[in-house]
Amino acid sequence: MAANRKRKSALPGFRFTMGFTVLYLSLIVLIPLAGLVVKTAGLTLPQFWDTVTSQRVLASYRVSLLTAFFAALVNVAFGLIVAWVLVRYRFPGKKIVDGLVDIPFALPTAVAGIALTSIYAPNGWIGKLLDPLGIKVAYTPLGITVALIFIGVPFVVRTVQPVLQELENEMEESAALLGAYRWRTFRKVLLPELVPPLITGFALAFARGIGEYGSVVFISGNMPLKTEITPLLIITKLEQYEYSQATAIALVLLLISFALLLVINTLQRWTNRRLRSA
Amino acid sequence: MKVIKSSRLLLVAALAVGVLSACGSNGNNSSNGSASPDGSPSPSSSASSSPSASASEPTKKPESVELLNVSYDPTRELYVAFNKSFADYWKKETGQTVKINQSHGGSGAQSRKVLDGLEADVVTLALAYDIDALAEKGLLKTDWQKSFESNSSPYTSTIVFLVRKGNPKGIKDWNDLIKDGVQVITPNPKTSGGARWNYLAAWGYASKQDGGDEAKTKEFMKKLFNNVPVLDSGARGATTTFVERKIGDVLLAWENEAYLAKKEYGDDFEIVTPSLSILAEPPVAVVDKVVDKKGTREVAEAYLKYLYTPEGQEIAAQNFYRPRLQEVADKYKDQFPQLNLLTIDQDFGGWKEAQQKHFADGGTFDEIYTKGS
Amino acid sequence: MAGAVTTVTTLSNEARPKHLTEPRPVRYLLIAVALLFIGIVVVLPMLTVLLEAFRKGWSAYIEALKDPDAMAALRLTLITALIAVPLNTIFGVAAAWAITKFKFRGKNLLVTLIDLPFAVSPVISGLVYILLFGAQGFFGPWLMDHDMKIVFATPGIVLATMFVTFPFVARELLPLMEAQGVQDEEAAVSLGSKGWRTFFKVTLPNIKWGLLYGIILCNARAMGEFGAVSVVSGHIRGETNTLPLHIEILYNEYQYTSSFAVASLLMLLAIITLVIKGLIEGKLARSRHGQ
C-alpha cells in the first residue's frame, strides 16, 4: 500500500492517516485472519482436502448455499416490489414502511432468532397454521431460509431504491408515447437498468446469508447432513477440540465470502459509474 | 510537519487509552476472581478492604473471593441452589464472602473452553473423560478422580425416557425407539456428555439383546439415530426442542433433566424407566493450575467437599440427582426407582476406551451416523 | 457490503403522471404485496417479541430486567460498545481521509480489505481470536505467563465486536467524502490553516451527519452482535455475558418471558437507532440539496 505516486497534495496528514489505517486494519483484521491461514497450514494438503470435502462438511455447504440462495432470490422478488412501491406510489404509512425495511439490520440476530422460532415452531402462530398441511418450517431447511429472508430484506430494497429514484422519466415517457404498454415498458426500458442493482442486492443478501449464525442457530434443527449450516459446523468442530478442522472449514467459507465481496464491489462500482453517466 | 507529529502523538495516545481501558477491564476481571494472583492472601493485596466491615478481626483471608464453576448443561438449577447454600456456609465458617460464577454448556464444549483458557476453579462436568482431557494438558493431576470420595462423583444419575402425556406411542423400552414413526430426541454425542451416556445405554441394551454381536448392535444404533430428527449440541437444547417446541415422541434425558421438565410443565409429560440403563457418574474436580494461580484452592476444595455433606446431598436430591449419602438416599428413595444399571468401568472398559471406540473420529458413532443418513 | 444501508433516500410524495404509472388495481396489488411481505417478515417477529415479553404482565417484565445477571449483561454490553465504537470511529475517519483526499496505488484493494469483516461470518471473527489468544493459541502461553486474559473475558469480547463493526464508519464516510472532493480543504490550507484546524473547521462540518450515521449503525451492531461474541465469551453469567448472550441463556432455561423481555430491550435500541437514522437522513438530504 505504498504511496508511490502520491499526488502532490496540499493537504496534510496522508502519512499519518494512512499509517494508522494500515496499522489498525492489520491489528484488528489482517493479523487475526492470517492466524486462521497459519493454523490451517498445519494440515497437509490431502488432510485439508479430506476435511473440507468430507460428507458432513459438503452437506453443510449445500445447506448454507442453497438456503442463502433461495432466501436471496425471494428477497430479489419482494425487495423489488417493496422498493418500487416506496419510490413510485403514495400510500399512508409509507415513511414507517421505509423505516421498517432497516429493522433486520438493526435488530440483534439473537432476538430475530428466538422470535422467528416461536412464530414458526409447530405450536407458534404461523407454525400452527402450516402444521396441519404437513408443512414444517422450524427445524427444517425451510426455517433457515425464513431466517435468512428476514436478514436479507434491507439489502435488495436499499440497492434498488436509489437506482429507481434516479431513473429519468424521459425514457419511459418516449416508450409510452410510442404506444408501448406498461408491462412492455417495464421489461424493455426499466428492467435492464434494474438488473445490476438487483444482482448486487442479491449478492449482498447471499453473502450475508452464508455467514449468518445468530438467527439461524435457534430455528434450524442443527441436524448434521440436513439442517447444519457451515458456521454452526465450525463451532461444532471447535467444541470437539478439532481446531485444525474448524479453521480449514472456516478458510473455505472465508474464501467464498472474499470472492463474493470482490464481485459485489465490482458490480457496485459499475452501477455507480452508470448512475453517474446517466 | 509539527502538526503531523502532534497529531500522531494524539492518536497514539487515543489508541493507548483504548488498549488500556481494555486491559483495565481485564485487570478488574482477574482481580475480582482472585484476591492476589500469586496465591499469597496478604490483606494489602486484596482490593481496598472497606473498614466498615463488621467482622474486623485480622484474618489473613481477603474479604471476598470469587469462584468459577464450569459445569454442563442440566446442572443450572442445582448449582443455583447449591451456590447459595455454600456461600452461607462459607460465610459462617470463615467470615469470607464467596461469589460463585457459573458457566453452562455441553460438557465437551465446556471442557474445550477450559482448555482454551476459561479460568475455571472447579469443573463439574458430565463425564470423567472431559476432565481427563484437561488432565492430559496438565491443568490438573492425572489421578484427579481420587481426590474426592466415590470417584469424585458426589451424585449420580441415569438415563430415562421422557414421553408425552398418555405415552401415545407406547414406548416402554429401548427397542421401542427403533420402530418406524417414532421420533427420538437426543443431543449430539460429540459435544454433549448426556448424549454420550444416552448412546452407551442404548448400545449396552442392544449389545445384551444381540448377545454381543457388534454388527447387529450397530444396526440397532443406526436405526435409532435414523429416528432422530434434531441433534442439539447440549442436553438443555434437546430438552427445549422436545418440551417447548413439541418435536419428537421421546426424549432420552438425564433423570434429573426429565424430572425438572416434568416439574416445569406439570402433567404434559410422563417419565418411562427402561428395563436397563446406565449409571451416570458426573464427576467434579478442582483445576489445580487455576486455583494455584489464583490462590483459591482452599475455598474451591471446600466447595466440592460441601457437595458430599448432608446439606449438599439434600440439595442434589431436591434437584433430582441421586445422592451418595445413605441417609439422604433413604429419605428420597421413592423418588428414584431402582433399575438395572450398566457401569462405564465394568461394561465399557472405562471412559478412555469408550471414548476411543465410540465417539472419537471414525468411532462407531461416526460409522452409524454418516452411513445412516 | 455496507452498500445496502449507505444509501440516503428521500421519499418523494408527488404523484406520477398517469401515463407513467400502472393501472390502479395493479398499484393496489403491488402495495398490498409489499405491505404483506414487510408485515410477515419484519413486523410479525417484532410483535412476537413484545407479546411474549409481556405475557406475564408488567411486573414480571420489570423483574426480568432488574435481575442482577441482566444488569451485568447490560453493563458489559455498554462497556463493549463504549470501547469499540470510538476506536472504530477514529479509524473510520482516518481511513476515509487517507482514501478520499489522496491518490495512491492499491486503493481498491484497501477498500476491499476494509469491507472484509462485513463478508466474514461472525463465527470466524470469534474463532480467529481464540486461535490467537486462547490458551492453545499463538499468544496464549505468553498471555498466561503474564496473567493476562483476553478470550473469555472483556477484552476478547471487545476485540470480536471491533472486528465485526470495523467497516461501518469508514463505509459511511467514503462515498460522502469522495463526493465532496478536496477543494474546501485545499482552500483552507492555502489560506494558512493547519492540519487539525482544517479538519475540525472545514471537513468535520461537512461530514458530521454522515459520521453520526455511521456511528449509530456501528453502535447498533456492536450492542447486538451474537455469533462472534458467543465464541469468545465463556458464558459466565454476570461476568462475560452480553445482552444477546443473556437472551440465549434465559431461553435455554425455560425462562421464555424473561428472555423476550431482554430481547425487547434490544429491539427498543434497534427502533431508536432507526428513528435517529431517519432524522439524520433528513439532515443529510437537506445538506445535499444545499450544495
Task: Determine whether the interchain pair A231/C224 forms a contact, defined as Cβ–Cβ distance below 8 Å.
Answer: no
In this structure, the answer to whether residues A86 and A168 fall within a common structural domain is yes
Does C4 fall in a domain? no
In this structure, the answer to whether residues B129 and B252 fall within a common structural domain is no
Residue of C nearest to B21 (CA): C83
* Count of domains observed in chain A: 2
Q: Which of B22, B115, B237 sits opposite C252 (nearest CB)?
A: B237
In this structure, the answer to whether residues B202 and B86 fall within a common structural domain is no
Backbone angles phi, psi at C222, to 5 degrees: -60, -40
Domain that holds residue A122: 44-277
- Are C159 and C233 in contact by the 8 Å Cβ rule? The answer is no
Compute the distance between CA of residue A265 and CA of residue C244 in angstroms, rounded to an integer.
31
In this structure, the answer to whether residues B265 and B348 fall within a common structural domain is yes
Pairing verdict, β B340-342 and B284-286: unpaired
Task: Determine whether the interchain pair C133/B117 forms a contact, defined as Cβ–Cβ distance below 8 Å.
Answer: yes
In this structure, the answer to whether residues C67 and C25 fall within a common structural domain is no
Does A7 fall in a domain? no
* Count of domains observed in chain C: 2
Residue B16: count of CB within 10 angstroms of its CB: 10
In this structure, the answer to whether residues A256 and A269 fall within a common structural domain is yes
Does A244 fall in a domain? yes
In this structure, the answer to whether residues C31 and C118 fall within a common structural domain is no
In this structure, the answer to whether residues A163 and A185 fall within a common structural domain is yes
Does B199 fall in a domain? yes
Nearest to C243 by CA among B233, B109, A111: A111
Does C194 fall in a domain? yes
- Are C10 and C285 in contact by the 8 Å Cβ rule? The answer is yes
Compute the distance between CA of residue B224 and CA of residue B208 in angstroms, rounded to an integer.
16
In this structure, the answer to whether residues C34 and C177 fall within a common structural domain is no
291 residues of chain C, pLDDT tens digit each:
444 444 445 555 566 766 677 788 888 999 999 999 999 999 999 999 999 999 988 998 999 899 988 999 999 999 999 999 999 999 999 999 999 988 888 888 898 899 888 888 899 999 999 989 988 888 888 888 888 888 899 999 999 999 999 999 998 898 888 888 888 888 888 888 887 888 888 888 888 888 988 898 899 999 999 999 999 988 888 889 999 999 988 887 778 889 999 999 999 999 998 898 888 877 777 766 554
373 residues of chain B, pLDDT tens digit each:
334 444 444 444 444 434 433 433 333 333 333 333 333 333 333 333 344 434 444 445 678 899 999 999 889 889 999 999 999 999 999 999 999 999 998 888 889 889 888 999 999 999 899 999 899 989 999 999 999 988 899 999 999 999 999 999 999 999 999 999 999 999 888 878 889 999 999 999 999 988 888 999 999 999 999 898 878 778 888 888 888 777 889 999 999 989 988 888 777 899 999 999 999 999 999 999 999 988 999 999 999 999 999 999 999 999 999 999 999 999 998 888 888 899 999 999 999 899 999 998 788 998 888 643 3
In this structure, the answer to whether residues B167 and B312 fall within a common structural domain is no
In this structure, the answer to whether residues B77 and B135 fall within a common structural domain is yes
Does C31 fall in a domain? yes
Compute the distance between CA of residue A238 and CA of residue C151 in angstroms, rounded to an integer.
14
Domain that holds residue C46: 16-53
**Is residue A84 within 8 angstroms of chain C, CB to CB?**
yes
In this structure, the answer to whether residues C175 and C43 fall within a common structural domain is no
Q: Which of A139, A239, A242 sits opposite B230 (nearest CB)?
A: A139
Task: Determine whether the interchain pair A114/C263 forms a contact, defined as Cβ–Cβ distance below 8 Å.
Answer: yes
Does B38 fall in a domain? no
**Is residue B196 within 8 angstroms of chain C, CB to CB?**
no
Task: Determine whether the interchain pair B240/C254 forms a contact, defined as Cβ–Cβ distance below 8 Å.
Answer: yes
Greatest Cα pair distance in chain A:
72
Domain that holds residue B215: 159-278+343-372
In this structure, the answer to whether residues A51 and A35 fall within a common structural domain is no
Does C144 fall in a domain? yes
* Count of domains observed in chain B: 2
Q: What is the DSSP string of B253-298?
A: EEHHHHHHHHHHHGGGEEEE--SEEE-B---EEE-HHHHHHHT-HH
In this structure, the answer to whether residues C44 and C121 fall within a common structural domain is no
Does A103 fall in a domain? yes
| pLDDT digits 0-9 by tens, C116-139 | 888 888 999 999 999 899 888 888
In this structure, the answer to whether residues B214 and B353 fall within a common structural domain is yes
Does B90 fall in a domain? yes
B-C contacts at Cβ under 8 angstroms: 99
CATH code of residue C166: 1.10.3720.10
Does C150 fall in a domain? yes
Does A8 fall in a domain? no
CATH code of residue B193: 3.40.190.10
In this structure, the answer to whether residues B207 and B112 fall within a common structural domain is no
In this structure, the answer to whether residues B178 and B84 fall within a common structural domain is no
The pTM of this model reads 0.81
Instruction: State how far residue A69 is from chain B, nearest Cα, in angstroms.
Output: 23
Does A117 fall in a domain? yes
